[in-house]
Structure 1
Amino acid sequence: MTELNAAAEADRALKAKHRTMWSLGDYPAVATQVVSGLGPELVRACGVRRGDRVLDVAAGSGNAAIPAALTGADVIASDLTPVLMEAGKALAAQQGAELAWEEADAEALPFEDGEFDVVMSCVGVMFAPNHQACADELVRVCRDGGTVGLVNWTPQGFIGRMFTVMKPYAPPPPPGAQPPPLWGDEEHVAALLGDRVTDIDARRQTLRVDRFGTPEEFRDFFKAAYGPTIAVYKNIADDPGKVAALDDELAALAREHMAGGGGMEWEYLLFTAHRRVS
Protein backbone atom coordinates (compact mmCIF):
# COMPACT_ATOMS: atom_id res chain seq x y z
CA MET A 1 0.00 0.00 0.00
CA THR A 2 1.40 3.40 -0.95
CA GLU A 3 1.85 6.10 1.67
CA LEU A 4 -0.97 8.12 0.05
CA ASN A 5 -3.34 5.16 0.07
CA ALA A 6 -2.45 4.35 3.66
CA ALA A 7 -3.23 7.93 4.72
CA ALA A 8 -6.57 7.80 2.90
CA GLU A 9 -7.45 4.51 4.54
CA ALA A 10 -6.52 5.88 7.98
CA ASP A 11 -8.71 8.92 7.36
CA ARG A 12 -11.66 6.74 6.35
CA ALA A 13 -11.23 4.66 9.49
CA LEU A 14 -11.06 7.78 11.65
CA LYS A 15 -14.19 9.26 10.09
CA ALA A 16 -16.01 5.96 10.59
CA LYS A 17 -15.02 6.08 14.26
CA HIS A 18 -16.35 9.63 14.57
CA ARG A 19 -19.59 8.65 12.84
CA THR A 20 -20.02 5.80 15.31
CA MET A 21 -19.25 8.02 18.31
CA TRP A 22 -21.88 10.60 17.37
CA SER A 23 -24.39 7.81 16.79
CA LEU A 24 -24.06 6.75 20.43
CA GLY A 25 -26.59 7.91 22.99
CA ASP A 26 -29.01 10.67 22.06
CA TYR A 27 -27.28 13.84 20.89
CA PRO A 28 -30.57 15.30 19.58
CA ALA A 29 -31.76 15.31 23.21
CA VAL A 30 -28.67 17.30 24.18
CA ALA A 31 -29.33 19.71 21.31
CA THR A 32 -32.99 20.25 22.13
CA GLN A 33 -33.00 19.99 25.94
CA VAL A 34 -29.67 21.57 26.89
CA VAL A 35 -28.07 23.74 24.18
CA SER A 36 -31.06 24.72 22.05
CA GLY A 37 -30.35 28.44 22.45
CA LEU A 38 -27.01 28.29 20.63
CA GLY A 39 -28.36 27.75 17.13
CA PRO A 40 -30.76 30.70 17.01
CA GLU A 41 -28.04 32.93 18.52
CA LEU A 42 -25.64 31.97 15.73
CA VAL A 43 -28.29 32.54 13.06
CA ARG A 44 -28.94 36.04 14.44
CA ALA A 45 -25.23 36.85 14.60
CA CYS A 46 -24.77 35.77 10.98
CA GLY A 47 -27.66 37.99 9.88
CA VAL A 48 -29.35 35.14 8.02
CA ARG A 49 -32.36 36.36 6.07
CA ARG A 50 -34.88 35.16 3.52
CA GLY A 51 -33.29 34.10 0.25
CA ASP A 52 -29.78 33.62 1.62
CA ARG A 53 -27.97 30.49 0.55
CA VAL A 54 -26.79 28.95 3.85
CA LEU A 55 -24.58 25.96 4.68
CA ASP A 56 -24.51 24.54 8.21
CA VAL A 57 -21.35 22.42 8.57
CA ALA A 58 -21.38 19.52 11.05
CA ALA A 59 -25.01 20.42 11.58
CA GLY A 60 -25.92 17.44 13.75
CA SER A 61 -29.68 17.38 14.19
CA GLY A 62 -30.09 20.96 12.96
CA ASN A 63 -29.64 23.16 16.02
CA ALA A 64 -28.68 26.08 13.75
CA ALA A 65 -29.85 24.83 10.35
CA ILE A 66 -33.52 24.63 11.33
CA PRO A 67 -33.72 28.18 12.77
CA ALA A 68 -31.93 29.40 9.64
CA ALA A 69 -34.48 27.69 7.43
CA LEU A 70 -37.33 29.23 9.41
CA THR A 71 -36.09 32.69 8.34
CA GLY A 72 -36.84 31.74 4.75
CA ALA A 73 -33.22 31.08 3.83
CA ASP A 74 -32.22 28.31 1.41
CA VAL A 75 -30.38 25.96 3.78
CA ILE A 76 -28.27 22.84 3.44
CA ALA A 77 -27.47 20.99 6.67
CA SER A 78 -24.37 18.82 6.19
CA ASP A 79 -23.04 16.26 8.64
CA LEU A 80 -20.90 13.14 8.78
CA THR A 81 -23.48 11.15 10.80
CA PRO A 82 -26.67 10.00 9.03
CA VAL A 83 -28.49 9.09 12.26
CA LEU A 84 -28.24 12.70 13.46
CA MET A 85 -29.58 14.01 10.16
CA GLU A 86 -32.53 11.62 10.33
CA ALA A 87 -33.38 13.03 13.75
CA GLY A 88 -32.98 16.53 12.32
CA LYS A 89 -35.39 15.80 9.50
CA ALA A 90 -38.03 14.78 12.03
CA LEU A 91 -37.42 17.92 14.11
CA ALA A 92 -37.61 20.12 11.00
CA ALA A 93 -40.91 18.54 10.00
CA GLN A 94 -42.33 19.19 13.47
CA GLN A 95 -41.38 22.88 13.18
CA GLY A 96 -42.46 23.32 9.56
CA ALA A 97 -38.91 24.03 8.36
CA GLU A 98 -37.89 23.13 4.81
CA LEU A 99 -34.21 22.48 4.17
CA ALA A 100 -31.88 19.99 2.49
CA TRP A 101 -29.72 17.46 4.33
CA GLU A 102 -26.48 16.11 2.89
CA GLU A 103 -23.89 13.73 4.31
CA ALA A 104 -20.51 15.45 4.13
CA ASP A 105 -17.07 15.54 5.72
CA ALA A 106 -16.27 19.00 7.14
CA GLU A 107 -12.66 18.54 5.98
CA ALA A 108 -13.69 17.91 2.33
CA LEU A 109 -17.04 19.54 1.60
CA PRO A 110 -18.78 18.46 -1.64
CA PHE A 111 -19.75 22.00 -2.63
CA GLU A 112 -18.50 24.53 -5.16
CA ASP A 113 -16.21 27.46 -4.38
CA GLY A 114 -18.17 30.50 -3.22
CA GLU A 115 -21.49 28.68 -3.29
CA PHE A 116 -22.97 30.13 -0.07
CA ASP A 117 -23.82 33.53 1.39
CA VAL A 118 -23.44 32.20 4.93
CA VAL A 119 -21.32 29.27 6.12
CA MET A 120 -21.79 28.42 9.78
CA SER A 121 -21.19 25.72 12.38
CA CYS A 122 -22.64 25.40 15.88
CA VAL A 123 -20.46 23.30 18.23
CA GLY A 124 -19.94 20.96 15.29
CA VAL A 125 -16.85 21.62 13.19
CA MET A 126 -14.80 21.84 16.38
CA PHE A 127 -14.89 18.04 16.64
CA ALA A 128 -13.23 17.36 13.28
CA PRO A 129 -9.59 16.41 13.87
CA ASN A 130 -7.88 18.60 11.26
CA HIS A 131 -8.66 22.18 12.18
CA GLN A 132 -6.87 23.81 9.26
CA ALA A 133 -8.56 21.61 6.68
CA CYS A 134 -11.97 22.55 8.13
CA ALA A 135 -11.15 26.25 8.19
CA ASP A 136 -9.97 26.09 4.58
CA GLU A 137 -13.27 24.49 3.55
CA LEU A 138 -15.40 26.99 5.49
CA VAL A 139 -13.72 29.84 3.62
CA ARG A 140 -13.64 28.09 0.25
CA VAL A 141 -17.39 27.51 -0.03
CA CYS A 142 -18.28 31.03 1.19
CA ARG A 143 -18.74 33.70 -1.47
CA ASP A 144 -16.68 36.89 -1.52
CA GLY A 145 -18.20 39.21 1.09
CA GLY A 146 -20.20 36.38 2.61
CA THR A 147 -20.32 35.48 6.31
CA VAL A 148 -18.53 32.74 8.20
CA GLY A 149 -20.09 32.21 11.63
CA LEU A 150 -19.09 29.82 14.40
CA VAL A 151 -20.17 28.91 17.91
CA ASN A 152 -17.69 26.73 19.81
CA TRP A 153 -17.08 25.84 23.45
CA THR A 154 -14.10 27.66 24.97
CA PRO A 155 -11.19 25.81 26.61
CA GLN A 156 -11.80 27.67 29.88
CA GLY A 157 -15.57 27.15 29.97
CA PHE A 158 -17.52 24.26 31.42
CA ILE A 159 -17.51 21.96 28.38
CA GLY A 160 -13.85 22.73 27.64
CA ARG A 161 -13.00 21.78 31.21
CA MET A 162 -15.14 18.65 30.89
CA PHE A 163 -12.97 17.51 27.99
CA THR A 164 -9.87 18.18 30.10
CA VAL A 165 -11.32 16.01 32.87
CA MET A 166 -12.11 13.19 30.43
CA LYS A 167 -8.78 13.27 28.56
CA PRO A 168 -6.82 10.94 30.90
CA TYR A 169 -9.55 8.32 30.53
CA ALA A 170 -9.90 8.58 26.75
CA PRO A 171 -7.97 6.64 24.13
CA PRO A 172 -5.05 8.58 22.64
CA PRO A 173 -6.09 10.94 19.82
CA PRO A 174 -5.00 10.10 16.26
CA PRO A 175 -1.71 11.63 15.09
CA GLY A 176 -2.10 15.29 14.24
CA ALA A 177 -5.55 15.69 15.78
CA GLN A 178 -6.06 18.93 17.70
CA PRO A 179 -8.23 19.39 20.82
CA PRO A 180 -11.81 20.44 19.95
CA PRO A 181 -11.98 23.35 22.47
CA LEU A 182 -9.19 25.16 20.62
CA TRP A 183 -11.97 26.31 18.27
CA GLY A 184 -13.20 28.33 21.25
CA ASP A 185 -9.99 30.39 21.33
CA GLU A 186 -10.37 33.51 19.19
CA GLU A 187 -6.68 33.70 18.32
CA HIS A 188 -6.64 30.10 17.14
CA VAL A 189 -9.68 30.61 14.91
CA ALA A 190 -8.36 33.88 13.51
CA ALA A 191 -5.06 32.17 12.68
CA LEU A 192 -6.87 29.30 10.94
CA LEU A 193 -8.85 31.68 8.73
CA GLY A 194 -5.95 34.08 8.23
CA ASP A 195 -6.16 37.07 5.90
CA ARG A 196 -8.90 35.42 3.88
CA VAL A 197 -11.47 37.05 6.17
CA THR A 198 -12.15 40.58 7.43
CA ASP A 199 -14.44 42.26 9.97
CA ILE A 200 -13.81 39.67 12.67
CA ASP A 201 -16.18 39.85 15.63
CA ALA A 202 -15.24 37.43 18.43
CA ARG A 203 -17.31 37.44 21.62
CA ARG A 204 -17.20 35.15 24.62
CA GLN A 205 -20.75 34.54 25.81
CA THR A 206 -22.45 32.14 28.18
CA LEU A 207 -25.35 29.76 27.81
CA ARG A 208 -27.53 29.40 30.87
CA VAL A 209 -28.24 25.70 31.51
CA ASP A 210 -31.06 24.92 33.95
CA ARG A 211 -31.72 21.36 32.79
CA PHE A 212 -30.01 19.64 35.73
CA GLY A 213 -31.02 19.75 39.37
CA THR A 214 -27.91 18.07 40.76
CA PRO A 215 -24.33 17.46 39.61
CA GLU A 216 -25.08 13.74 39.42
CA GLU A 217 -28.07 14.38 37.16
CA PHE A 218 -25.82 16.24 34.72
CA ARG A 219 -23.22 13.48 34.80
CA ASP A 220 -25.70 10.68 34.28
CA PHE A 221 -27.45 12.50 31.44
CA PHE A 222 -24.18 13.05 29.60
CA LYS A 223 -23.11 9.44 30.28
CA ALA A 224 -26.30 8.30 28.56
CA ALA A 225 -26.76 10.90 25.80
CA TYR A 226 -23.50 12.60 24.76
CA GLY A 227 -21.38 10.61 22.30
CA PRO A 228 -17.91 11.81 23.40
CA THR A 229 -18.68 11.07 27.05
CA ILE A 230 -20.13 7.65 26.21
CA ALA A 231 -17.03 6.82 24.17
CA VAL A 232 -14.73 7.68 27.08
CA TYR A 233 -16.72 5.51 29.47
CA LYS A 234 -16.63 2.65 26.95
CA ASN A 235 -12.84 2.98 26.87
CA ILE A 236 -12.59 2.37 30.64
CA ALA A 237 -15.55 0.01 31.03
CA ASP A 238 -13.29 -2.86 32.15
CA ASP A 239 -11.77 -0.80 34.99
CA PRO A 240 -14.34 -0.08 37.73
CA GLY A 241 -11.85 2.07 39.60
CA LYS A 242 -11.42 4.41 36.65
CA VAL A 243 -15.18 4.53 36.06
CA ALA A 244 -15.75 5.52 39.69
CA ALA A 245 -12.99 8.14 39.51
CA LEU A 246 -14.41 9.71 36.35
CA ASP A 247 -17.89 9.66 37.90
CA ASP A 248 -16.53 11.62 40.85
CA GLU A 249 -14.57 14.10 38.72
CA LEU A 250 -17.49 14.92 36.41
CA ALA A 251 -19.84 15.39 39.36
CA ALA A 252 -17.28 17.60 41.10
CA LEU A 253 -16.90 19.76 37.99
CA ALA A 254 -20.66 20.20 37.72
CA ARG A 255 -20.91 20.93 41.45
CA GLU A 256 -18.30 23.68 41.10
CA HIS A 257 -20.27 25.31 38.29
CA MET A 258 -23.55 24.99 40.19
CA ALA A 259 -22.17 26.83 43.20
CA GLY A 260 -24.65 29.41 44.47
CA GLY A 261 -27.60 28.08 42.51
CA GLY A 262 -28.99 25.22 40.48
CA GLY A 263 -28.14 26.50 37.01
CA MET A 264 -24.83 26.58 35.18
CA GLU A 265 -23.20 29.06 32.80
CA TRP A 266 -21.42 27.39 29.88
CA GLU A 267 -18.99 29.68 28.05
CA TYR A 268 -18.73 29.67 24.27
CA LEU A 269 -17.07 31.76 21.58
CA LEU A 270 -19.34 33.45 19.04
CA PHE A 271 -17.14 34.23 16.05
CA THR A 272 -18.21 35.92 12.81
CA ALA A 273 -16.22 37.29 9.89
CA HIS A 274 -16.65 38.17 6.23
CA ARG A 275 -14.89 36.43 3.37
CA ARG A 276 -12.43 38.92 1.93
CA VAL A 277 -13.45 40.22 -1.49
CA SER A 278 -10.78 39.12 -3.94
Structure 2
Amino acid sequence: MTAQVENGAAADPAADRALKEKHRAMWASGDYPAVAREVIPQLGRVLVDATGIGPGQRVLDVAAGSGNAAVPAARAGADVVASDLAPELFEEGRRWAAEVGVDLAWHEGDAEALPYDDASFDAVISCVGVMFAPRHQASADEIARVTRPGGSVGLLSWTPEGFIGQMFATMRPYAPPPPPGASPPPLWGDEEHVRGLFGDRVSDVRAERRRLPVELFDSPEHFRDYFKSHYGPTIAVYRSLADDPDRTAALDRDLLELARRFDNGVAGTRMDWEYLLFTARRA
Protein backbone atom coordinates (compact mmCIF):
# COMPACT_ATOMS: atom_id res chain seq x y z
CA MET A 1 0.00 0.00 0.00
CA THR A 2 1.25 3.48 -0.80
CA ALA A 3 1.20 6.01 2.04
CA GLN A 4 -0.82 9.12 1.32
CA VAL A 5 0.10 12.40 2.95
CA GLU A 6 -2.47 14.66 4.54
CA ASN A 7 -1.49 17.98 6.15
CA GLY A 8 2.15 16.90 6.23
CA ALA A 9 1.57 13.60 8.05
CA ALA A 10 1.40 10.03 6.79
CA ALA A 11 -2.11 8.59 6.47
CA ASP A 12 -0.89 4.97 6.51
CA PRO A 13 0.46 4.17 10.01
CA ALA A 14 2.11 0.91 8.94
CA ALA A 15 4.00 2.58 6.10
CA ASP A 16 5.00 5.41 8.43
CA ARG A 17 6.35 2.99 11.04
CA ALA A 18 8.37 1.17 8.38
CA LEU A 19 9.79 4.45 7.11
CA LYS A 20 10.79 5.55 10.61
CA GLU A 21 12.46 2.21 11.33
CA LYS A 22 14.43 2.61 8.12
CA HIS A 23 15.54 6.10 9.15
CA ARG A 24 16.46 4.91 12.63
CA ALA A 25 18.60 2.11 11.20
CA MET A 26 20.28 4.52 8.77
CA TRP A 27 21.36 6.94 11.49
CA ALA A 28 22.43 4.12 13.78
CA SER A 29 24.76 2.78 11.06
CA GLY A 30 28.27 4.08 10.72
CA ASP A 31 29.42 6.51 13.42
CA TYR A 32 27.45 9.74 13.39
CA PRO A 33 28.69 10.71 16.89
CA ALA A 34 32.22 10.78 15.40
CA VAL A 35 31.02 13.08 12.60
CA ALA A 36 29.47 15.42 15.17
CA ARG A 37 32.58 15.32 17.34
CA GLU A 38 35.26 15.51 14.64
CA VAL A 39 33.72 17.43 11.74
CA ILE A 40 31.08 19.82 13.12
CA PRO A 41 31.77 20.18 16.88
CA GLN A 42 31.35 23.97 16.98
CA LEU A 43 27.93 24.12 15.32
CA GLY A 44 25.95 23.22 18.43
CA ARG A 45 27.41 26.10 20.39
CA VAL A 46 26.78 28.46 17.47
CA LEU A 47 23.09 27.53 17.54
CA VAL A 48 22.78 27.79 21.34
CA ASP A 49 24.35 31.26 21.35
CA ALA A 50 22.24 32.51 18.43
CA THR A 51 19.04 31.29 20.09
CA GLY A 52 19.90 33.06 23.34
CA ILE A 53 19.63 29.97 25.53
CA GLY A 54 20.52 30.48 29.18
CA PRO A 55 19.83 29.52 32.81
CA GLY A 56 16.29 28.66 33.81
CA GLN A 57 15.00 27.87 30.33
CA ARG A 58 13.39 24.55 29.41
CA VAL A 59 14.89 23.54 26.07
CA LEU A 60 14.08 20.78 23.58
CA ASP A 61 16.68 19.66 21.04
CA VAL A 62 14.83 17.92 18.20
CA ALA A 63 16.73 15.21 16.30
CA ALA A 64 19.51 15.76 18.81
CA GLY A 65 21.75 12.88 17.75
CA SER A 66 24.59 12.61 20.24
CA GLY A 67 23.89 16.02 21.74
CA ASN A 68 25.86 18.37 19.51
CA ALA A 69 23.55 21.23 20.57
CA ALA A 70 21.84 19.69 23.61
CA VAL A 71 25.01 19.43 25.68
CA PRO A 72 26.08 23.05 25.00
CA ALA A 73 22.53 24.15 25.92
CA ALA A 74 22.85 22.30 29.23
CA ARG A 75 26.26 23.88 29.80
CA ALA A 76 24.58 27.27 29.32
CA GLY A 77 22.41 26.46 32.33
CA ALA A 78 19.21 25.31 30.61
CA ASP A 79 17.02 22.34 31.58
CA VAL A 80 17.41 20.28 28.41
CA VAL A 81 15.60 17.38 26.76
CA ALA A 82 17.46 15.73 23.87
CA SER A 83 15.05 13.86 21.58
CA ASP A 84 15.94 11.63 18.64
CA LEU A 85 14.45 8.84 16.57
CA ALA A 86 17.68 6.82 16.98
CA PRO A 87 18.45 6.36 20.69
CA GLU A 88 21.54 4.38 19.70
CA LEU A 89 23.21 7.79 19.33
CA PHE A 90 22.62 8.74 22.97
CA GLU A 91 25.42 6.66 24.50
CA GLU A 92 28.12 8.99 23.18
CA GLY A 93 26.07 12.01 24.25
CA ARG A 94 25.70 10.70 27.78
CA ARG A 95 29.46 10.18 28.01
CA TRP A 96 30.13 13.70 26.79
CA ALA A 97 27.60 15.20 29.21
CA ALA A 98 29.20 13.32 32.10
CA GLU A 99 32.67 14.50 31.07
CA VAL A 100 31.63 18.16 31.15
CA GLY A 101 29.49 17.77 34.26
CA VAL A 102 25.96 18.45 33.03
CA ASP A 103 22.70 16.56 33.35
CA LEU A 104 20.02 16.37 30.68
CA ALA A 105 17.21 14.04 29.67
CA TRP A 106 17.49 11.75 26.64
CA HIS A 107 14.20 10.71 25.02
CA GLU A 108 13.45 8.58 21.98
CA GLY A 109 11.08 10.62 19.85
CA ASP A 110 9.88 11.30 16.32
CA ALA A 111 10.29 14.90 15.09
CA GLU A 112 6.99 14.54 13.22
CA ALA A 113 5.07 13.46 16.35
CA LEU A 114 6.82 14.88 19.41
CA PRO A 115 5.66 13.29 22.68
CA TYR A 116 5.29 16.59 24.56
CA ASP A 117 2.43 18.87 25.55
CA ASP A 118 1.61 22.08 23.72
CA ALA A 119 3.69 25.13 24.67
CA SER A 120 5.90 23.10 27.03
CA PHE A 121 9.35 24.51 26.10
CA ASP A 122 10.93 27.96 26.28
CA ALA A 123 13.16 27.14 23.32
CA VAL A 124 13.17 24.44 20.66
CA ILE A 125 16.33 23.92 18.62
CA SER A 126 17.75 21.54 16.03
CA CYS A 127 21.30 21.40 14.69
CA VAL A 128 21.43 19.70 11.25
CA GLY A 129 18.88 17.28 12.66
CA VAL A 130 15.21 17.96 11.97
CA MET A 131 16.11 18.73 8.36
CA PHE A 132 16.39 14.96 7.80
CA ALA A 133 12.85 14.13 8.93
CA PRO A 134 11.06 13.35 5.65
CA ARG A 135 7.92 15.49 6.05
CA HIS A 136 9.00 19.06 6.61
CA GLN A 137 5.59 20.53 7.34
CA ALA A 138 4.80 17.93 9.98
CA SER A 139 8.09 18.64 11.77
CA ALA A 140 7.63 22.42 11.63
CA ASP A 141 4.09 22.02 12.98
CA GLU A 142 5.40 20.02 15.92
CA ILE A 143 8.19 22.50 16.68
CA ALA A 144 5.66 25.35 16.68
CA ARG A 145 3.21 23.36 18.81
CA VAL A 146 5.60 22.57 21.67
CA THR A 147 7.20 26.04 21.81
CA ARG A 148 5.45 28.40 24.24
CA PRO A 149 4.21 31.77 22.97
CA GLY A 150 7.15 34.16 23.14
CA GLY A 151 9.59 31.25 23.20
CA SER A 152 12.49 30.79 20.82
CA VAL A 153 12.99 28.58 17.79
CA GLY A 154 16.55 27.98 16.56
CA LEU A 155 17.47 25.86 13.54
CA LEU A 156 20.80 25.25 11.84
CA SER A 157 20.58 23.47 8.48
CA TRP A 158 22.81 22.76 5.48
CA THR A 159 21.90 24.85 2.43
CA PRO A 160 21.03 23.37 -0.97
CA GLU A 161 23.90 25.25 -2.63
CA GLY A 162 26.50 24.42 0.02
CA PHE A 163 28.75 21.40 0.18
CA ILE A 164 26.45 19.00 2.04
CA GLY A 165 23.47 20.08 -0.05
CA GLN A 166 25.51 19.38 -3.16
CA MET A 167 26.61 16.04 -1.72
CA PHE A 168 22.97 15.00 -1.45
CA ALA A 169 22.38 16.22 -5.01
CA THR A 170 25.34 14.12 -6.14
CA MET A 171 24.01 11.01 -4.39
CA ARG A 172 20.39 11.46 -5.50
CA PRO A 173 20.70 9.70 -8.91
CA TYR A 174 22.21 6.67 -7.19
CA ALA A 175 19.74 6.46 -4.29
CA PRO A 176 16.39 4.65 -4.14
CA PRO A 177 13.41 6.96 -4.75
CA PRO A 178 12.25 8.92 -1.69
CA PRO A 179 9.03 7.89 0.06
CA PRO A 180 5.76 9.64 -0.89
CA GLY A 181 5.48 13.07 0.69
CA ALA A 182 9.17 13.38 1.56
CA SER A 183 11.04 16.60 0.81
CA PRO A 184 14.80 17.00 0.21
CA PRO A 185 16.62 17.67 3.50
CA PRO A 186 18.62 20.71 2.26
CA LEU A 187 15.39 22.67 1.69
CA TRP A 188 15.60 23.47 5.42
CA GLY A 189 18.62 25.55 4.42
CA ASP A 190 16.45 27.76 2.19
CA GLU A 191 15.11 30.75 4.12
CA GLU A 192 11.89 31.11 2.15
CA HIS A 193 11.09 27.42 2.55
CA VAL A 194 11.49 27.61 6.33
CA ARG A 195 9.50 30.84 6.56
CA GLY A 196 6.75 29.12 4.61
CA LEU A 197 6.73 26.12 6.94
CA PHE A 198 6.15 28.29 10.02
CA GLY A 199 4.10 31.08 8.46
CA ASP A 200 2.61 33.57 10.91
CA ARG A 201 3.28 31.29 13.89
CA VAL A 202 6.69 32.95 14.30
CA SER A 203 7.94 36.53 14.40
CA ASP A 204 11.29 38.32 14.76
CA VAL A 205 12.81 36.02 12.15
CA ARG A 206 16.53 36.22 11.60
CA ALA A 207 18.14 34.11 8.89
CA GLU A 208 21.83 34.20 8.06
CA ARG A 209 23.96 32.07 5.79
CA ARG A 210 27.31 31.16 7.32
CA ARG A 211 30.19 28.87 6.44
CA LEU A 212 31.85 26.19 8.52
CA PRO A 213 35.55 25.70 7.73
CA VAL A 214 36.32 21.96 7.57
CA GLU A 215 39.98 20.94 7.70
CA LEU A 216 39.74 17.41 9.09
CA PHE A 217 40.43 15.66 5.80
CA ASP A 218 43.90 15.16 4.34
CA SER A 219 42.57 14.86 0.79
CA PRO A 220 39.34 14.61 -1.20
CA GLU A 221 39.78 10.83 -1.10
CA HIS A 222 39.94 10.98 2.71
CA PHE A 223 36.62 12.87 2.81
CA ARG A 224 34.92 10.35 0.51
CA ASP A 225 36.14 7.30 2.40
CA TYR A 226 35.30 8.85 5.79
CA PHE A 227 31.70 9.56 4.77
CA LYS A 228 31.37 6.09 3.22
CA SER A 229 32.17 4.54 6.60
CA HIS A 230 30.77 7.10 9.08
CA TYR A 231 27.73 8.93 7.68
CA GLY A 232 24.41 7.09 7.64
CA PRO A 233 22.87 8.60 4.47
CA THR A 234 26.02 7.93 2.46
CA ILE A 235 26.30 4.41 3.84
CA ALA A 236 22.67 3.74 2.89
CA VAL A 237 23.22 4.82 -0.73
CA TYR A 238 26.31 2.63 -1.09
CA ARG A 239 24.46 -0.34 0.42
CA SER A 240 21.72 0.10 -2.18
CA LEU A 241 24.43 -0.26 -4.85
CA ALA A 242 26.06 -3.34 -3.32
CA ASP A 243 25.22 -5.52 -6.33
CA ASP A 244 26.23 -2.93 -8.93
CA PRO A 245 30.02 -2.39 -8.96
CA ASP A 246 29.87 -0.05 -11.95
CA ARG A 247 27.45 2.37 -10.26
CA THR A 248 29.42 2.10 -7.03
CA ALA A 249 32.57 3.13 -8.90
CA ALA A 250 30.68 5.98 -10.58
CA LEU A 251 29.49 7.31 -7.22
CA ASP A 252 33.05 7.04 -5.92
CA ARG A 253 34.19 9.24 -8.78
CA ASP A 254 31.36 11.74 -8.41
CA LEU A 255 31.91 12.24 -4.68
CA LEU A 256 35.63 12.64 -5.28
CA GLU A 257 34.98 15.26 -7.94
CA LEU A 258 32.61 17.10 -5.61
CA ALA A 259 35.24 17.26 -2.87
CA ARG A 260 37.84 18.47 -5.35
CA ARG A 261 35.48 21.19 -6.57
CA PHE A 262 34.97 22.54 -3.04
CA ASP A 263 38.60 22.07 -1.92
CA ASN A 264 40.23 25.47 -1.47
CA GLY A 265 43.19 24.30 0.60
CA VAL A 266 46.80 25.08 -0.25
CA ALA A 267 48.50 22.51 1.96
CA GLY A 268 45.93 19.81 2.61
CA THR A 269 42.20 19.86 2.02
CA ARG A 270 40.02 22.70 3.31
CA MET A 271 36.34 23.10 2.51
CA ASP A 272 33.78 25.71 3.60
CA TRP A 273 30.38 24.13 4.25
CA GLU A 274 27.49 26.58 4.05
CA TYR A 275 24.57 26.47 6.48
CA LEU A 276 21.51 28.58 7.31
CA LEU A 277 21.16 29.85 10.87
CA PHE A 278 17.45 30.54 11.45
CA THR A 279 16.07 31.97 14.68
CA ALA A 280 12.59 33.25 15.48
CA ARG A 281 10.14 33.97 18.28
CA ARG A 282 6.95 31.94 18.69
CA ALA A 283 4.08 34.31 18.01
Query: Could you tell me the TM-score, scaled by structure 2's length?
Result: 0.95
Distance in structure 2 (CA, Å) of the matches to 1:22 and 1:92: 21
Mapping of 1:54-65 within 5 angstroms?
Answer: 54-65=59-70
Hey, what's the Cα distance between the residues in 2 that align with 1:71 and 1:12?
35
Cα displacement (A) at 1:260 = 4.4
Structure 1: tracts of 5 or more residues without a match: none
2:7 corresponding residue in structure 1? none
Of the three residues 110, 134, 139, the one matched with 2:144 is 139
**1:197 has 2:202 as partner:** yes
Specify the alignment match of 2:48 in structure 1.
43
Partner Cα separation in structure 1 for residue 242 and residue 96 of structure 2: 33
CA distance, structure 1, for counterparts of residue 255 and residue 189 of structure 2: 21
Q: Tell me how far 1:259 sits from its aligned partner.
A: 3.1
* 1:122 partnered with 2:148: no
Give the CA deviation at 1:185. 0.2
In the alignment, structure 1 residue 33 sits paired with structure 2 residue 38: yes
* 2:249 corresponds to: 244
Q: Alignment RMSD, CA only? A: 1.4
Report the Cα offset of residue 16 of structure 1. Answer: 0.2
Residue 209 of structure 1 is matched in structure 2 by 214
Q: Verify: 1:157 aligned to 2:167, yes or no.
A: no
Please name the residue that 1:274 is paired with. Answer: 281
Report the Cα distance in structure 2 between the residues aligned to 1:10 and 1:91, rounded to whole angstroms: 35
- The answer to whether structure 1 residue 263 and structure 2 residue 281 are counterparts is no
1:97 maps to 2:102: yes
Q: How far apart in 1 are the matches of 2:41 and 2:124?
A: 19
What is the rounded CA distance, in whole Å, between the counterparts of 1:123 and 1:207 in structure 2?
13
Q: Which runs of 5 or more structure 2 residues have no equivalent in the other structure?
A: 5-9
Distance, in Å, in 1 between the alignment partners of 2:96 and 2:232 is: 19
Partners of 2:125 and 2:202 in 1: how far apart?
A: 14
Q: Classify the secondary structure of the residue corresponding to 2:12.
A: helix
Native 8 Å contact 2:122 2:152 kept in 1: yes
Q: Deviations over 1:218-261 (max 9, x none)?
A: 00000000000000000001111111111111111111111343
Deviating above 2 A after TM superposition, structure 1's stretches of 4 or more consecutive aligned residues are 3-6, 259-262
Who is 1:226 aligned against? Answer: 231
The one-character-per-residue Cα deviations of 1:47-86 (angstroms, maximum 9, x if unpaired) are 0001110000000000000000001110000000011112
So what's the TM-score if we normalise by structure 1? Answer: 0.97
Q: Secondary structure at the match of 2:119?
A: coil
Whether the 8 Å contact between 2:176 and 2:240 is mirrored in structure 1 is yes
Contact 2:265 2:271 in 1 (8 A): no
Report how far residue 90 of structure 1 moved: 1.6
1:122-154 per-position Cα deviation (integer Å, ceiling 9, x unaligned): 000000011000000001100110000000000
| 1:14 pairs with one of 15, 19, 31 | 19
